[in-house]
Structure 1
Amino acid sequence: MHNLWKKSWLIGLVYILGWQSYAFAKPLNVVTTTGMIGDLVLNIGQEHVEMTALMGVGVDPHLYKATHGDLRRLQQADVIFYNGLHLEGKMQEVFEKLARKKPVYAVTQNIDEHRLHRFGKAHDPHVWFDVALWHTAGLFVLEKLIQHDPQNETFYRQNAAQYLKRLSELDHWVKRQVSQIPKQQRVLITAHDAFGYFGTAYDMEVRGLQGISTATEFGLHDIKALKELILSRKIKAVFVESSVPKRFLKSLVAGVNEVGQPLNIGGELYSDAMGLSGTPEGTYIGMVKHNVNVIVQALK
């Protein structure tokens, strides 16, 4: 009887230890808002994170409303990352409430205030278009993954070192590519003013039909001002965005063509959302390379 009890006790101990090992090995459940943030998390966390990005292909984060399914995923998450700077305008209250119960982080919170663009009382949230700033966001994600899963710190640091090196190389590549465009032609016109950080980092003048948010309205004065700029600078192309309606820029192109100056849609850029999963554009690096290749080819 004593031996039977001892054997049962040992089996129970092995079971408990095994369950604890499973619990520790379970991936960190991370929920992000945009695919760009999700891509950071996956590259640094890899198999030690289970990542869900709420906003998919072609989704406009400025106008996005959380679904019941989103709220359930957020409530079940171990860690939540969002962009901040009011990119996810309609979800801000949700994050503030969740932050009372669980770790909720804006990946932009460690970016130097002096490097942020300000429009009136608001900051431009589109920081990922300056690859160096996105590098800073990556360091912040690394810090928080380690904080909430310290046993995998070495793994996270190794992944981050490799990925952030690729971002540094990407930053230099973008500068080389944009430098091929003649200075006079280095004007990027898009549907909304999402590329301000891109312009500052890579020496391009940037204009958008709408403001930094797609919720911003525009009028005839905005269209007239862009038309005059295009005519005076003899700009060859403007660019539509994957997550913003294209009809307004198409009207602008038609108006310029009517007065005898050729103007084309130079291509489609990824602004507030990445491309399809499984494609190069479905990654942050692939998205940036796609945008730069389209811009350079159209304006060079």
Structure 2
Amino acid sequence: MTALAGCGGGADTASPGGRPTVVVTTSILGDVTGELIGDAAEVVVIMPPGSDPHDFEASAQQVDQMRRADALITNGGGFEVSLAEAVETARSEGVPTHDAIGGVETIDFEEGGEGVDPHFFTDPSRMADAAADIVDFLTTEVPALAVDDVRTTANAYVEELRDVDASVQRTLSSIPDEDRIMITNHEVFGYFADRYDFEVVGVVIPAGSTGGEPSAGNLADLVGVIEEAGAPAIFADTSAPTQLAETLASESSTGVDVVELFSESLGEPGSGGETYVEMVRSNADRIAAALG
């Protein structure tokens, strides 16, 4: 995989050897795209690992990279709200643009009337569907990628994602049905819950973004939910502050751990979430350890 993080002074989109350049908004989709097409294109990632996509701001150079790309891949569904204007500019100027969420069966947020939940990537089976759709898009819109080698590489990776889904099923199988409850930092694991038969019974920030501010009443109610459900853990985000989750855990009388999961960004090298496959496996291991 050849994924470049376009952070501030990121790589120029001119590709060595005349390869096409594919620009991808998120680190998660950047890794997936790189695995799908291998060395057939230069993959430039706008958001580096550890970024919170809800408050990330692209540099002028990164916006220019998006405008000059041979293809642009986004998460879609309102996920990259701060990049919306730059994405639409690139699209309007003729850059072939693909929203990965368009390749999956979506669900709506449970609370708040926010509409479609964009966090499909917490379910590796849906990611496999999205990945297959990304390949169809790239091989159609970028002629240099419409070759047998790319298809072979892509098919193998899509199959790996389906194997990861099966592996997660096995990892979580030790958790009894009655214990498959989650308290999360914000509404990010809806697709995970949908796929693996969990119930998200409460969220610290009642929104699909980490930028919300829960009221004192919301937090007090959540403490009650935690104690009534007997939830042993609050699942926080590795890419967002954990202070609220830690405060809630300390206020509960039932003994609650704060367990960090990779949610909206890959982790740094050595973190256990350096690639999409690693982050999915790490999350499953951490959830199984906390609830099993």
Q: TM-score, normalised by structure 2?
A: 0.87
**Structure 2, unaligned runs of 5 or more:** 1-14
1:238-257 superposed matches below 5 A: 238-256=234-252
- Preserved CA contact (<8 Å) 1:27 1:50: yes
Secondary structure at the aligned position of 1:108 is classed as helix
Query: 1:85: which partner in 2?
Result: 77
Larger radius of gyration between Structure 1 and Structure 2: 1
Instruction: Find out whether 1:220 has 2:220 as its counterpart.
Output: no
Decide which of 279, 285, 288 is 1:293's aligned counterpart. Answer: 285
**Match for 1:111: what amino acid?**
V
Q: Answer yes or no: is the 8 Å Cα contact 1:194–1:208 preserved in 2.
A: no
Corresponding residue SS for 1:55 = coil
Q: Measure the CA separation in 1 of the matches of 2:178 and 2:100.
A: 35
Partner of 1:237: 233
| Alignment partners' CA distance in 2, 1:79 and 1:278 | 30
Equivalent in the alignment of 1:116: 107
Partners of 2:35 and 2:237 in 1: how far apart?
A: 25
Identify the residue that residue 154 of structure 2 maps to in structure 1.
Answer: 160
Distance 2:102 2:242 in 1: 32
Amino acid at match of 2:141: H
Q: Secondary structure at the match of 2:273?
A: helix
Q: Distance in 1 between matches of 2:271 and 2:204?
A: 29
Q: Are 2:33 and 2:43, in contact at CA under 8 Å, matched by a contact in 1? A: yes
1:138 to 102, 112, 131: 131
Task: State the AA in 1 paired with 2:82.
Answer: K
User: Which structure has the highest helix share of the two?
Assistant: 1
Equivalence for 1:13: none
Inter-CA distance 149–25: structure 2 relative to 1 (3 Å threshold): farther
Deviations 1:91-117 (A, max 9, x none): 1122112101211221112324xx322
Q: Which residue in the other structure is 1:39 paired with?
A: 31
Deviation (angstroms), 1:90: 1.7
Change in CA separation of 1:28 and 1:268 when aligned onto 2, cut-off 3 Å: same
Whole-angstrom distance in 1 between the partners of 2:144 and 2:57: 36
**How far, CA to CA, are the matches of 2:22 and 2:144 in structure 1?**
17
Deviation at 1:253, TM superposition (A): 0.8
**Between 65-74 and 135-144, the greater mean CA deviation after superposition:** 65-74
CA distance, structure 2, for counterparts of residue 145 and residue 168 of structure 1: 21
Tell me which residue corresponds to 2:12: none
Q: Distance in 2 between matches of 1:227 and 1:192?
A: 15
Shift of 1:156: 1.6
Show structure 1 runs of 5+ residues with no match: 1-22
After TM superposition, which residue ranges in structure 1, 4 or more long, deviate above 6 angstroms? none
CA shift for structure 1 position 72: 2.3
Task: Tell me the distance in 1 between the aligned counterparts of 2:199 and 2:84.
Answer: 31
Structure 1 residue identity aligned to 2:209: S
| Structure 1 residue corresponding to 2:40, chosen from 48, 55, 64 | 48
Q: Equivalents in 1 of 2:270, 2:154: separation in Å? A: 21
Note closer, same or farther for the CA distance 1:24–1:34 as it changes in structure 2 (3 Å cut).
closer
In the alignment, residue 119 of structure 2 is paired with which amino acid? H
TM-score under structure 1 length normalisation: 0.85
* d(CA) in 2 for partners of 1:24, 1:38: 19
Within 2, Cα distance between the matches of 1:129 and 1:200? Answer: 10
Q: Which residue of 2 is the match for residue 177 of structure 1? A: 171
Q: In 2, distance between residues paired with 1:175 and 1:74?
A: 37
Superposed displacement of residue 227, structure 1: 1.1
| Equivalent position amino acid for 1:298 in 2 | A
Q: Does 1:204 align with 2:198?
A: yes
Question: What does residue 271 of structure 1 align with?
Answer: 263
How many residue pairs are counted as aligned between the two chains? 272
The two structures, once aligned, show a CA RMSD in angstroms of 1.9
Task: In structure 2, give the amino acid aligned to 1:289.
Answer: R
Give the aligned partner of residue 281 of structure 1. Answer: 273
Structure 1 residues 91 and 151, CA gap change in structure 2 (3 angstroms): closer
